[in-house]
Amino acid sequence: MIDKILTCILFTITIYSCAEKETALPNIVLIMGDDIGYSDIGAYGGEIETPNINRLAEGGLRFTTFYNMAKCNPTRSTMLTGLYTGGAGAVHIANLTKAAGYQNIMSGKEHFDPWVPEYCKAENVFDHSFYFWATTEYFLPPSGEFERPFFLEGKEIKAEEIEHEQSPMYKTDFITDYALKWLDETFEKEDPFFLYLPYHAAHYPLQARPEDIEKYRGKYLKGWDVLRQERFERMKNLGVLPKGTQLSPPENNLNKSRGPLLADYTDYYAWDSLSAEKKDSLDLEMAVFAAIIDRMDQNIGRVLKKLEENGKLENTIIMYLNDNGSCPFYTNKVIDVAPGPANSYWSLRTNWAMLGNTPFRQHKQSGLEGGSHTPFIVHWPEKIAPNTITDQVGHVVDMAPTFLDLLKIAYPDSIQGHPTIPLHGSSLLPVFMGEQREEPEYFVSGMNKFRMFRSGEYKIVRMNGGPWELYDMTKDPSELVNLADTMPEKVKELAMHYESTPVGNPDGLP
């Protein structure tokens, strides 16, 4: 009789534990790279060593078509609020996780459009935050000439006050140091957590630890022409390209708004036309860029190890994406010191950025796919089938509605005394679960003079404020055939549709 009672109790406990496990809200980790091309990471065809990001991809889901807003600040503004544009009434996704009982942690870069309300800033929505605004160096420069402020729990601190485990201090490392410290505190509680890790890698300036640079020195001497073809072949084999994708031909940087416009940085030239000395210099430039991404991946590995050691990985959904395509604009400030150390300040040029954005055209800021197309990886053990790939289209604007689905809560009616602005995207959770979602009515990306608007299979995009171009994205994902002259009515239809959206008509005029 006692045995039967004990069996019954154990059975009841087991049923309760399984139900509790089934209904437990997942921890959420959102990781963002900065100015990294679609093909730069290994899971999307790159030769750069990213074993930890690859692990997430191989154990989870990869999107072949996912859009950001093609530049740092609009991508963050849209991703974190679920709005293409807004103002008072915008809701940060950390407001949503907080409402669901989560502990919120942010460590990394903060950069918003002016329309994002003050109450959405890090210190107002995260329980713990360490951040910097826009561009700062990776090392503390000896002269301090380019030093920018950092903020810890909302208070400005100097670079030398930053806690760090490894010297000399390096930004990607100490961003992670803070995150791991606060995760340890969170693990002592029962609450689920949301960790937002917007790394600055691999934004200029090109600065990296010597041991990381050394791993890549000489690997780029074969040049961007050969490497681009090699990446394209790997991407096809991995299955991470939209169906029908062709390798776009090399072209100059068409963006005329970012100067100075130096031919060495903006124009395409064949690798084989260069001297051995020039090739060696360019090999170093790309080796430093690769080292920056490598170091980011090492730090993602530290986060995975922390989650695994504390038994948190199984019930954690981890997402990785980039804020825009690779960045090819000349911003060099110190040219008498080669790329790499703290006292250098170099940026990547068009031909290396074109390699990063393989197989697409153009770069950061542009609504063409090279600027607006990002890898998107979602890892969720026992929920998402491993090593799966979807060709369903998604966008960073879909992140907030996805969070609502994950958290199982409703969108609030008001915030800070303002009625909330309805979200512009829709949940990606059906895609995560292997189902077909109803595709949103439209997607927007690119800066104003470089805007793109996609609805269904067609997309319009303009360059330098010029006329709309038209592409059939189901047949021509690389945007090689402009249909604007042969389908002017479709251009007009999409342009009118765009002008009826919050981005195309921000003042809401009839």
Question: What does the alpha-carbon distance between residue 173 and residue 340 come to, in Å, rounded to a whole number?
Answer: 16
Among residues 235, 305, 227, 285, which one has the least CA distance to residue 51? 305
**pLDDT tens for the 510 residues of the chain, in order:** 434 333 343 333 333 334 344 468 999 999 999 999 999 999 999 999 999 999 999 999 999 999 999 999 999 999 999 999 999 999 999 999 999 999 999 999 999 999 999 999 999 999 999 999 877 889 976 656 666 789 999 999 988 899 999 999 999 999 999 999 999 999 999 899 999 999 999 999 999 999 999 999 999 999 999 999 999 999 999 999 999 999 999 999 999 998 889 999 999 999 999 999 999 999 999 999 999 999 999 999 999 999 999 999 999 999 999 999 999 999 999 889 999 999 999 999 999 999 999 999 999 999 999 999 999 999 999 999 999 999 999 999 999 999 999 999 999 999 999 999 999 999 999 999 999 999 999 999 999 999 999 999 999 999 999 999 999 999 999 999 999 999 999 999 999 999 999 999 887 766
Residue 455 lies in a domain: no
The dihedral of CA 294, 299, 302, 304: what is its sign? Answer: negative
Residue 180 lies in a domain: yes
Instruction: For residue 91, report the phi and psi dihedrals to the nearest 5 degrees.
Output: -120, 120
Instruction: Give the predicted TM-score (pTM) of the model.
Output: 0.94
Paired with 28 in beta bridges are: 194, 317
Instruction: Give the domain range for residue 85.
Output: 26-441
CB 183 within 8 Å of CB 195: yes
Residue 332 lies in a domain: yes
Instruction: For residue 104, report the phi and psi dihedrals to the nearest 5 degrees.
Output: -110, 130
Residue 283 lies in a domain: yes
**pLDDT given for residue 145 in this prediction:** 61
Instruction: For residue 400, report the phi and psi dihedrals to the nearest 5 degrees.
Output: -60, -50
Q: How many domains does the chain have?
A: 1
CATH number at residue 63: 3.40.720.10
Instruction: Tell me the two tokens of residue 476.
Output: 């021509």
Residue 308 lies in a domain: yes
Residue 478 lies in a domain: no
Residue 454 lies in a domain: no
**For 431-434, which contacts have Cβ atoms below 8 Å and span 24 or more sequence positions?**
431/61, 431/63, 431/390, 431/392, 431/394, 432/61, 432/378, 432/380, 432/383, 432/384, 432/402, 433/383, 433/384, 434/384, 434/385, 434/388
The number of angstroms, rounded, from the C-alpha of 454 to the middle of its chain's C-alpha atoms is 20
Among residues 197, 191, 148, which one has the least CA distance to residue 175? 197
Question: What does the alpha-carbon distance between residue 207 and residue 142 come to, in Å, rounded to a whole number?
Answer: 13
Residue 485 lies in a domain: no
**pLDDT given for residue 3 in this prediction:** 41
Instruction: Tell me the two tokens of residue 42.
Output: 């290994």
